Structures are given as C-alpha cells and as structure tokens.
Amino acid sequence: NAGVTQTPKFRVLKTGQSMTLLCAQDMNHEYMYWYRQDPGMGLRLIHYSVGEGTTAKGEVPDGYNVSRLKKQNFLLGLESAAPSQTSVYFCASSYGYMNTEAFFGQGTRLTVV
C-alpha cells in the first residue's frame, strides 16, 4: 500500500539546469497538488490538478510547469532552476470532495547552487 510516492528524495542542481519531480499515487484520487515548504512560510501551492489532463496555477506557479497525462502521476518540472527554488517539495492527492483528507508524499529536498 504505497500511497503517495515522490522521486527523487534529494537532489542538488546547478543554476540553469532542468529537472522533473515525479509524484505517483495508487489511491485512484482525482485531485493532486504540488506544494513547496520554506521556513516561516508554511506550505504554498504551486500547481494543482482536478483530474487527468487538467492543471491549474496555485499561489506560486512562476518557474514551474506541470503535467497530468495519467491519473496516477503528476509531474513538476523546473526548466531553468534558480537558487530561489531551493526548498522542500511535497506532493499530495485527494478525492477532492470537501470532507476528504489529502495524503502526502515524503517530500523532495531540492538545493539549487
């Protein structure tokens, strides 16, 4: 029973490099989210998806792109990494109804140097 799995768990990038973070869930959830967590700022929503083939911008979408080609996967891309994108990234999924909980992955710690 894997739940929500994020890969990789750690990554160091040089400024200007690109990378993709993968989130996979096995609970048949419709909704998926990408957050970043920074000290003193809590979790801020980057992008989210309410179903396969859909994506929408959250609070801090600039510098990121996402895709939801398959229901179980939600990819977060950084085209040209910047030091300001150093953060811990969390993926979450839920059924999307008002009273259901979101399940979180273990996080990806990204450092951009």
- Tell me which residues touch another protein (CB under 8 A): 4, 31, 33, 35, 40-45, 48, 50, 56, 58, 90, 92, 94, 96, 98-99, 101-102, 104-107
Nearest residue (CB) to another protein, 12 versus 56: 56
Question: Do 47 and 68 contact (CB within 8 A), yes or no?
Answer: no
Nearest residue (CB) to another protein, 50 versus 113: 50
Task: Residue 72: count other Cβ atoms within 10 Å of its Cβ.
Answer: 15
Nearest residue (CB) to another protein, 63 versus 96: 96
Burial class of residue 88 in the structure, from the number of CB atoms within 10 Å of its CB (0-12 exposed, 13-18 middle, 19+ buried): middle
User: 3-state class of 84 per DSSP?
Assistant: helix
- Rounded to the nearest whole angstrom, what is the least distance from the CB of residue 65 to another protein in the complex? 18
